[in-house]
Structure 1
Amino acid sequence: MEKVTCSCGHENPFGTKICGKCGRPLTEEAKSQKVLDMKYDGSAIRSKTYNKSIIDKVWNFFSSVKVGVSLIIILLVVASIGTIFPQEFYVSAGTDLERALYYETNYGSLGKLYYQLGLADLYSSWWFQVLVGMLAISIIVASIDRGLPLHKSLKNQRVKRHESFMKRQRIIAEGAITEGNSSETLAKVEEKMKKLNYKVKRDGNALLFEKGRFARYGPYINHVGLIIFLVGVMLHQIPGIYVDDSMWIREGETRAIPGMDGYFLKNEEFIFETHDNDPTTAQIQQGVNAVAKNYQTNVLLYKQSEDALPGQTDNLELVQDYSIRVNHPLKHDGYAIYQMDFRLNELKEMTFTLTNLETGEALGEVAIDLRNPQKEYIIDDNTKVKLMGYFPDFSGFNDEGEPQTATPNPNNPAFIFNMITPDRPDGEISFVAIQQTVPAGDNKYKMEFTSVETVNMSGLTIRKDSTIPILFVGGFIFLLGVAIGSYWNHRRLWIEQLEDGRIRLAAHTNKNWFGMKKDLDAVSEYAKLPKYIDQLDTDDDEKAQMEKEGDNTL
């Protein structure tokens, strides 16, 4: 686009409203304004100038304040919806089917719909991350679109300004000096303004007084902090940077730690202690029989050797021996393992005896590890038991009469046995559950429950967040920008000695006009300047009357 040449000869970028050199209004809109719009010092803003190509339209979309505010509102609403029910990370169910059943069972049809819409894994969903990314792009584009032109305009401020610029400021004054001459007046103004901490620039018989320019950068500092914060949030999706996982581990068990590649944890012992005093009445009403004093897991942290295959537990190197307690996590290599939950007396192993129904004779025992059951258990050369079906958490039969399991946890185990004996070489089928045995026909033998072995379990949470320094820096910069933009303001005073000895002045601030007027009152009283007027507080009739009365003002 062609540049706009002002009558003073200065070439301005297309879209500039106020000449960057003399301050003359360049557009019809600016010329018609009683008080100039000094929001961006009249500099050219790309989004308000170009709207032809696809790139222009995309740029204008993301630079729009309405779009940015809309994205923020959408994210707030969506994030709020994500707190209605627990996120699936905090649900103990393992498979997708189990999680779907959990939401439907606990929260009804609304919970089922909540899970089907993907709201149960909201913050990790691709479309939520897209919204966060769009907000970051919007902030970046809006900052570049407005921040760079404003910076160039403020950096290249001219001291001398055209009469039309001066007369179109909100606070203006023009008149003769009542005491001394113009040169002495300017010297007094400069002296007083320096005492008020204004910076001074001089060009011949014109002066520019300025302070608090940095306040104009407050919103953009705010944007930088917010962008850094959003980047930290999006980095949570990169493996290894952010870990928030959980695991259940039994006493005596050694397991790979989820989220900590190459590390294993062994549960040496789980300790549960209660207070000696009796529960209160309120606790008894809530079904609390004992008040927990301490629960901890004594663990051994191992590291896998570098040449070992994934999951291999041979040649593990002991890293740390630690007792994990509530609020006392095991910390290593940026990771923290917290004690979060426990289960007492979980079923570990069940023992059955193959027994003759008529005589009660026992042919042998079978011990079934409920976490790792075998397909076949051999008693002797001609006697064995085959495990044809295992249902860890038996929940009943479906419409076809097939047994079902609710979860993979051995809460209510049930089995389908095929009992092969010397006199029944083809075997006998029997369904066995706790307090329930259903033979498939006229059986001669049965699997009789003998004993059970239980074990305590610890629920641990593994956390690592390498983005915390990024989030902290982003939050600090954001609050710094808010403070700068809220508690400081940019004040400017232009004053010029005219050829006939009179003084013309104009003042502007981006906010806090009361403070600007207070400074003007102080310098006007000290240097005996002409009385100023606020054009937004003074109507045309009052202004004309003041001129008619010879008030030495415009």
Structure 2
Amino acid sequence: MDGQDVKPRKDLLDQTWDFFASVRVTTVLLFLLAVASIGGTLIEQEGMYASNLPPEEYYPQRYGPVLGMLLLRTGMTHAYSSWWYLTLLFLIAAALVICSIERLVPLWRAVYRPNPTPDKEFVRRLRQGFTFPARGEQPLAELAAALRARRYLVIERDGRLYADKGRLGRLGPYITHIGLLFIMIGAGMRAVPGVYLEQYIWVRDGEIVKVPGSDFYVESLGFAVEFYETGQPRSYQTHTRVIDAGGNVVKTETIAMNEPLTVGRVQLYQSSYYAEYGHAEVALVDRQSGAEIDRFTLDLSQPQRAYTVGDYRLQLLAYYPDFTVGEDGRPTTRSSQVNNPGLVLEVTPPDGEPFTTWFFPLYPGMEFDDTTPVRFLTQDVSPVYTSGLQVKKDLGLPVIYLGLIITTAGAFATFYLAHRRFWAFAEGGQVIVGGWTNRNAGSFEREMRQIAHQLDPERYATESDMEGEER
């Protein structure tokens, strides 16, 4: 309309700045981050669940086929390293920086470049203040000395006085912002390859496994477990050997519960285990006479392709670690774990034709053909343990700890350091003093009364009147 001022339209950069400078926007972003963090805490993250199943198999089994696939597709199974979580961290960091710049610059000027000579009416209108007689050629000298004794910074200019202390208390929220930025930087570093790692490795007794995120290997020299009378495990540990890329043994150490193995920046925690059938002591027996021909040891996890037992030769034709019969009627295995091993063997006698037979180490009496000249008898089955070790590496953790220290310092400054200020000038034979504080007004009033009593004891309360009061 004519005669009315039209505000110029802000460009995109100014609009973006104003958007992130809004406290409401920052609050919403923090709420979304809190919700995402709670979800990541409640949902088992990849590399942290105690199972050797891959994520695409584990989550549908754990949460159901629909919800499990939804969690995988949305990235909730690795929430803290997902693109949307890192985007939230970036937006909050931007909001904190812009909010701090928007408010810190004028606050810094007001606190560290104060006006020692404001309008006299401003000093008179302050809620807290007192007067005392002006004495000598320098009427403000006594007040300045009393304030310096209480560790105030005193500025005298043009016959006026300004004093303050506790400036850091005004900057407490912004120190907290800096600490939060460090925490978010440390958390965001997890997206950088090689900085963060948390996953399981499964190491069988006697097995050597490459430790992800490192240049060394770990070998299990043996797993040990102790049980309560109820059968529940009481404690378990893995005796390990660390081997570098050149094959040299770096250290030999036992990993127990709450006693991790540390190599450089990588830590290995004893987290889980499972036991399966390991080795079977098997006897080859003459079916007609019942005499034992010889024995051999069968590795149920990785059986050999051929064995020599006495004068007999055995050839492994097929192995099913978890034997079952499929829907098509053919033999198959349910899983790769040794739960119900079944073997198809070709047996070559010393002076006869080879023949094929089945052997079930856990159920040696189950035979498909009882006309063979020999049969197998299981004498003993020993277990083998697979230790679940959790590998942790977090190079951003020192940055997060630094952020926590800075945040704590900022919170302390915010809540426990009060910014106290005095203004004074001489007029009409009196020194007029006014004071202001940003918090804890009661304590500031007591301090002002003490200063007033020191400068004019006849007019203001005596020291004995204030005994027992907190300074």
- Compute the TM-score of the two structures, normalised by the length of structure 2: 0.75
Tell me by how many angstroms 1:473 deviates: 1.9
Partner SS state of residue 83, structure 1: helix
- How far off its partner does 1:202 sit? 0.8
Q: In the TM superposition, what are the counterparts of 1:297-312 in structure 2 within 5 Å?
A: 297-305=238-246
Asked if structure 1 preserves the Cα contact closer than 8 Å seen for 2:320 and 2:332, the reply is yes
Equivalent residues of 1:159, 1:206 under 8 A apart? yes
Q: Structure 1 residue 259 and structure 2 residue 205: aligned? A: no
Does residue 197 of structure 1 match 2:151?
Answer: yes
Matches within 5 A, 1:202-213: 202-213=156-167
- Give 2:56's aligned residue: 97
Q: How does 1:263-302 map to 2 (within 5 A)?
A: 263-273=216-226, 284=230, 288=232, 292=234, 295-302=236-243
Q: Does 1:483 align with 2:412?
A: yes
Alignment partner of 1:157 is 2:88 = no
- The CA deviation at 1:203 is 1.0
Distance in 2, Cα, partners of 1:55 & 1:188: 53
**RMSD of the TM alignment (CA)?**
4.8
> Which residue of structure 2 aligns with residue 321 of structure 1?
252
Offset of residue 126 of structure 1: 1.9
Equivalent residue letter for 1:150: L
* 2:446 is equivalent to residue 492 of structure 1: no
- In structure 2, the residue matched to 1:73 is 31
- For structure 2, the residue ranges without an aligned partner over 5 or more in a row are 1-6, 461-471
* CA distances 1:54-80 after superposition (whole Å, capped 9, x unpaired): 222222222222222222222222222
For 2:419 and 2:445, locate their aligned partners in 1 and report how far apart those are by CA, in whole Å. Answer: 13
Q: Could you give the per-residue CA deviations for residues 447-490 of structure 1, whole angstroms, max 9, x where no partner exists? A: 98765664222222223333333222221111111111110111
CA distance in 2, matches of 1:476, 1:373: 56
Report the alpha carbon displacement of residue 209 of structure 1 after superposing the two structures with TM. Answer: 1.5
Match of 1:461 in 2: 390
Give unpaired runs (5+ residues) of structure 1.
1-48, 306-315, 533-554
Offset, 1:132: 2.0
Which residue identity is paired with 1:236? Answer: R
Over 3 Å counting, the alpha-carbon distance change for 1:99 and 1:207 in structure 2 is same
Following the alignment from structure 2 to structure 1, what is the Cα–Cα distance between the partners of residues 367 and 453? Answer: 106
Contact 2:345 2:359 in 1 (8 A): no
Residues in 2 aligned to 1:509 and 1:50: alpha-carbon distance in whole angstroms:
39
Per-residue CA shift, 1:388-435, capped at 9, x if unaligned? xx765568746x7788766543334567x69899xx99x999999977
Separation of aligned partners in 2, 1:392 and 1:115: 30
Distance 2:329 2:60 in 1: 20
Percent identity for Structure 1 against Structure 2: 28
Tell me the residue number matched to 1:551. Answer: none
Taking the aligned partners of 1:53 and 1:485, their CA distance within structure 2 comes to 36
Q: CA 1:94–1:497 in 2, change beyond 3 Å: closer, same or farther?
A: same
Counterparts of 1:62 and 1:394 in 2: how far apart (Å)? 62
More moved, 111-120 vs 121-130 = 111-120
SS for the counterpart of 1:409 is coil
Which letter maps to 1:73?
F
501, 508, 519: which one aligns with 2:447: 519
Q: Distance in 2 between matches of 1:104 and 1:391?
A: 29
Aligned to 2:268: 337
Which residue identity is paired with 1:269? G
CA offsets, 1:340-395, max 9 Å, x none?
33333x2346799999x9xx9xxxx9998665578x8799xx996644xx765568
**Aligned with 1:142: secondary structure?**
helix
Contact 2:306–2:314 (CA<8 Å) still a contact in 1? no
In the superposition, relative to structure 1, how do residues 456 and 484 fare at CA in structure 2: closer, same or farther (>3 Å)?
A: same
Residues 438 and 258 of structure 1, relative CA distance in 2, 3 Å threshold: farther
Listed one character per residue, the Cα deviations across residues 278-323 of structure 1 (whole Å, up to 9, x for unaligned) are x5xxx64xx54xx64x533232221113xxxxxxxxxx11222223
Aligned 8 A contact 2:134 2:429 in 1 = no
Matched ranges for 1:109-258 at <5 A? 113-115=70-72, 117-163=74-120, 165-166=122-123, 169-171=126-128, 179=133, 185-258=139-212
Rate the CA distance shift 1:326–1:383 in 2: closer, same or farther, 3 A. closer
Q: Is the 8 A contact 2:284 2:376 kept in 1?
A: no
Report how far residue 438 of structure 1 moved. Answer: 12
Match of 2:19 among 41, 50, 61: 61
**Is the CA contact (8 Å cut-off) linking 2:359 and 2:376 kept in structure 1?**
no
Residues 124-152 of structure 1 deviation map (CA, whole Å, 9 limit, x = unaligned): 22211221222222222222222233213
Q: CA deviation at 1:169?
A: 4.7
Structure 2 distance, partners of 1:50, 1:223, is 32
How far, CA to CA, are the matches of 1:192 and 1:72 in structure 2?
46
Question: Displacement of 1:504 after TM fit?
Answer: 4.7
Residues 178, 406 of structure 2: 8 Å contact kept: yes
For residues 384 and 77 of structure 2, the distance between their equivalents in structure 1, rounded to whole angstroms, comes to 32
What letter is aligned with 1:118?
G
Match of 1:4 in 2: none
Q: 2:320 and 2:124 mapped to 1: Cα distance?
A: 88
| Amino acid paired to 1:100 | Y
How has the CA–CA distance of structure 1 residues 485 and 104 changed in structure 2, closer, same or farther, with 3 Å as cutoff?
Answer: closer
How many residue pairs get matched?
445
**Residue number in structure 2 paired with 1:11:** none
1:343–1:458 Cα contact (<8 Å) kept: yes
Q: Which stretch of structure 1 is more off in the superposition, 328-337 or 199-208? A: 328-337
